[in-house]
């Protein structure tokens, strides 16, 4: 397995206190990493450092190159529904990063956006504007946009957190299917153990001090269901870990 992201001694704090301290993490190509952790432990901070939105001390190398600024090769999917540009249609939103980075061929762009619109189950909505979509549909578009660019790494910060349980479940299933069939590497942050076990090929738990305390390969066979062998035991370990870290 090829190393994609290598974080060493990552330390990050805001004026008064430190959030992440000497964090090490190595991500390999085609991994789907889920990070769990109590609220406020620094998960978003970690992701924003990797994305290049924050300055930090220590080193973050993506494909051997130090991360100093945001770049499309590390594509972010935010929790906020309103991350799409409201002045662009669904297909224009999906095509825009490709266009910005030099793909001009209209035919090709159309073909790519159609393909990913289809993958996230939004056929027929290409010409809709974001305000005409539901929250779940907007998140689907944001995911399609990230996938269509084929970045080295996709960073997702609780993209499903604000959705209702049913929509959330179906989006999890879709994302699990898509990621199994595409060459993508994902770091996915969530509060939800079930979500982490469903999606992740590797699941991490961060503690209040911003350290990674559990780092486990997810060996539960896909598609993951609560009845899958090993699910209960793994769920218990993370649940206990979270409870310990939360008090």
Partner 1 sequence: MKKHTPLLAQLLFVVLCVVFWQWYANTRGIMGFPPLDQIFQKLLDCFTNPQRQILLYLGNSLLSVLKGLSIGALLALLLSAICAVSRVFSAVYTLVVSVFDLLPGVALLPILMITVGANDTAILILVIHSVVWPMSRSIMDGFKATPAIYVESGKNMGLGVAGLIFGVYVPATFASILSGIKVGWARAWRGLISAEMIFGAAQSAGIGVFINNARTVWIDYPSVYAAIVLIILVGVAVEYGVFQVIERHTVRKWGMIR
Ligand X SMILES: Nc1ncnc2c1ncn2[C@@H]1O[C@H](COP(=O)(O)OP(=O)(O)OP(=O)(O)O)[C@@H](O)[C@H]1O
List residues near partner 1 by CB under 8 A.
51, 53, 69-72, 74-76, 78, 80, 82-83, 85-87, 96-97, 100-101, 129-132
Site string for Mg ion, 184-223 (x = CB under 5 A): ----------------------------------------
Cβ closest to ligand X, residue 46 vs residue 109: 46
Torsion angle, alpha carbons of 228, 214, 75, 5, to 10: -120
Q: To the nearest whole angstrom, how small is the minimum distance from the Cβ of residue 191 to Mg ion?
A: 9
CB neighbours of residue 236 within 10 Å: 11
User: Hey, which residues between 41 and 60 contact Mg ion (CB under 5 A)?
Assistant: 44
User: Distance from CA of residue 217 to its chain's centroid?
Assistant: 17
**Could you say which of partner 1, ligand X, Mg ion, none residue 42 binds, taking C-beta under 5 to 8 angstroms by partner kind?**
ligand X
Among candidate residues 191, 15, 37, the one with its CA nearest the CA of residue 23: 37
**Could you say which of ligand X, partner 1, Mg ion, none residue 125 binds, taking C-beta under 5 to 8 angstroms by partner kind?**
none
Q: To the nearest whole angstrom, how small is the minimum distance from the Cβ of residue 76 to Mg ion?
A: 12
**Could you say which of ligand X, Mg ion, partner 1, none residue 85 binds, taking C-beta under 5 to 8 angstroms by partner kind?**
partner 1
Q: What is the C-alpha to C-alpha distance for residues 94 and 26, in angstroms, rounded to an integer?
A: 29
Residue with tokens 């001390």: 57
For the chain, what's the residue count?
247
Of the ranges 20-28, 39-47, 146-154, 211-219, which one interacts with Mg ion (CB under 5 A)? Answer: 39-47
The answer to whether 151 touches 120, Cβ cutoff 8 Å, is: no
Nearest residue (beta carbon) to Mg ion: 44
Binding site for ligand X (CB under 6 A): 14, 19, 37, 39-45, 191
Q: What is the C-alpha to C-alpha distance for residues 18 and 218, in angstroms, rounded to an integer?
A: 30
**Could you say which of Mg ion, partner 1, ligand X, none residue 39 binds, taking C-beta under 5 to 8 angstroms by partner kind?**
ligand X
Q: What is the C-alpha to C-alpha distance for residues 153 and 61, in angstroms, rounded to an integer?
A: 12
Residue 195, exposed/middle/buried by CB under 10 A (0-12, 13-18, 19+)?
buried
Q: To the nearest whole angstrom, how small is the minimum distance from the Cβ of residue 130 to partner 1?
A: 7
In degrees, rounded to 5, the angle at the alpha carbon of residue 30 between the alpha carbons of residues 79 and 187 is 25
**Which residues would be at the binding site for Mg ion (CB under 5 A)?**
44
């Amino acid at each position: 397995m090829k190393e994609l992201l290598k974080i060493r001694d990552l330390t990050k704090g805001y004026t008064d206190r430190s959030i992440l301290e000497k964090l090490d993490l190595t991500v390999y190509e085609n991994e789907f990493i889920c990070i769990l952790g109590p609220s406020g432990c620094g998960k978003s901070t970690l992701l924003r450092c990797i994305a290049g939105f924050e300055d930090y001390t220590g080193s973050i190398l993506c494909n051997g190159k130090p991360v100093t600024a945001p770049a499309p090769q590390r594509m972010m999917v935010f929790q906020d529904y309103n991350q799409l540009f409201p002045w662009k249609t669904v297909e224009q939103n999906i095509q825009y990063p490709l266009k910005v980075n030099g793909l001009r061929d209209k035919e090709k762009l159309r073909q790519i956006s159609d393909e990913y619109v289809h993958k996230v189950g939004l056929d027929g909505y290409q010409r809709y504007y974001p305000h005409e979509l539901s929250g779940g549909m907007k998140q689907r578009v944001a995911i399609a946009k990230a996938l269509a660019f084929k970045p080295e790494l996709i960073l997702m910060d609780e993209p499903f957190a604000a959705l209702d349980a049913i929509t959330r479940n179906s989006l999890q299933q879709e994302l699990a299917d898509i990621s199994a069939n595409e060459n993508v590497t994902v770091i996915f942050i969530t509060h939800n153990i079930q979500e982490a076990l469903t999606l992740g090929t590797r699941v991490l738990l961060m503690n209040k001090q911003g350290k990674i305390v559990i780092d486990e390969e997810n060996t539960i066979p896909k598609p993951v269901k609560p009845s899958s062998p090993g699910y209960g035991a793994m769920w218990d370990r993370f649940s206990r870990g979270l409870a310990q870290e939360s008090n």
